[in-house]
Amino acid sequence: MISVNTTQPEQLLAKQFIELWVKIANCSSSQRASAKTPNTDFIKRIEVALQENSAQNPLNLINQLLIGNTASNPIERGNILAIMRVMDDMFYLIHPRAVIAPKFRPHLPDWLLQLQGAYFLSGHYGCNEKHSLIPRGPLLRMPREESAANAENLADRFVALAVVELKHNHNGRDISIQHKIISSDTARGVPSGAKIGAETVAFIPIAEEKDHLETIETKISDQMFVDFRINSGLNSAELLFNALVQAGSVDIAIAPEMVVSEDHADDLANKLLNYKGITLSRIIIAGSGATKATDQEGMPWNETRIFNGRGHELWRQRKIWPAGLDAKRVKDLNLSKIDSNKMMLEYNAAGNEIFIVDVDGLGRCIVLICQDIQAEPVSKEIIRQFQPDWVFSPILDPGIEKYKWVHQRIFSLCGEAQTRFLVASSTALNYWFNPTKNGACGFAHGPKKSSTLDDEGRSYTIANVEGDASPGYAKVIWRSKNGWQITTFS
């Protein structure tokens, strides 16, 4: 139970849910499954208390009902789960899903309004040293069903609330989570879309020919590094902007990895700001590239900039796991010879935080740059815990093909959440391996099992540059029938 202190009662109530979550999560799935549901009077008392404007009375009542403060038997476990379920029902009144498409305009008690305001300011309803309480994702579509795991799963019992960890592990180091809220403000946020669920996406490769990419090799101590970048004679901001103009009004535009440096991202922001036409894209994941800042070894970070259609920066995401090339791939790319048991690593520093961004009218968004989507356990865990609407992945690859590593990895992740995955690659590197083959620049994949009849499970599409468009781009539309397939095993 929570002792009363200077913290406001509504914050204590949010922390109470976190404490109950941690307590019941420590029970086994069979122990939760065998919990005894309390009588209707027990549940009604909590419902009535939560309707009061002050959070103090429901807080006091919950503390009284949790006799013994343990989960050692079916009755105590049933009481905990019942309290959490009633709280989840109450919080659904302010969940983005309910706010966007309300069935009615309910009365909201003052404590709930206070926590709604706290979420808009901080990205959570409450937190402690290890966890935070947030709206359960996805924000715009129905969540996973309670039976989605084909087993008892605590998180899937709730539709409005989720308890998530503030730090995650990758190869023994902590990756911190930053949660941000972005409004639907046209100037500084992301404007609302016309068709939620049927978004149009533009993939823009930027680097399309063999000589559009160049490499610079560096040796530090005994390690060889390679820096892939856009050809110094090209302006990726201009190419990306011109492709956006040709693609027209879309919901999401995404460009690849290693082709948009920080300087070029700044240039793109200015071009968008000064553009007088229609909004080209609600949100632009402007590829990635080297930062001007460096770490103590002098390495830049590989950073993605995310803008709205007017050029306002929404957030930045640095790659957390720089990739490497084995000896065969190094030889294929005509780079300096390395020992067969060595790798040539990407010349970039490793980031140490991942942004979870709730965009009003678009949903919960995460950027995982290329190798980051492979980073275990952090990539899988943040998708499982945060249940994002979207995962955006700029990559550098010879070309996206079905059933290759991108498809395989996303298929392994698509059962964790109702997430839509978007992957963008340049096509230039493809010609370094096969001068006659034109690679795809875009890949879109939905969840393994859809929570809505409007989407089929495991649906995907691979996008190639349209016609003779220059600069090139490819467009796909969710829920259209053109070009979509279902991932199958053979």
Residue pair 368/168 in contact (Cβ under 8 Å)? The answer is: no
**Exposed/middle/buried for 415, CB within 10 Å: 0-12, 13-18, 19+?**
middle
Integer Cα distance of 267 and 256 in angstroms: 17
> Rounded to whole angstroms, how far apart are CA atoms 327 and 444?
31
101 SS3 class: coil
Nearest by Cα to 208 from 241, 239, 184 = 239
pLDDT tens for 52-65 read 999 999 999 999 99
What is the DSSP code (8-state) at residue 137?
A: S
Is the backbone peptide bond immediately before 471 cis, with ω within 30 degrees of 0? Answer: yes
DSSP secondary structure letters along 457-486: TTEEEEE---TT-SS--EEEETT--TT-EE
**What does the pLDDT profile of the chain (490 residues) look like in tens digits?**
344 344 799 999 999 999 999 999 999 999 999 999 999 999 999 999 999 999 999 999 999 998 777 888 999 999 999 999 999 999 999 999 887 655 556 789 999 999 999 999 999 999 999 999 999 999 998 999 998 889 999 999 999 999 999 999 999 999 999 999 999 888 898 998 888 899 999 999 999 999 999 999 999 999 999 999 999 999 999 999 999 999 999 999 999 999 999 999 999 999 999 999 888 999 999 999 999 999 998 999 999 999 999 999 999 999 999 999 999 999 989 999 999 889 999 999 999 999 999 999 999 999 999 999 999 999 999 999 999 999 999 999 988 989 999 999 999 999 999 999 999 999 999 888 877 667 899 999 999 988 777 788 899 999 999 888 889 999 999 999 888 999 987 6
Distance of CA 134 to the CA centre of its chain: 14
241-255 pLDDT per residue, tens: 999 999 999 999 999
pTM, to two decimals: 0.95
Give CB contacts under 8 A, 24+ apart, made by 409-413.
Answer: 409/373, 409/374, 410/373, 410/443, 410/445, 411/445, 411/448, 411/458, 411/487, 413/373, 413/379, 413/380, 413/383
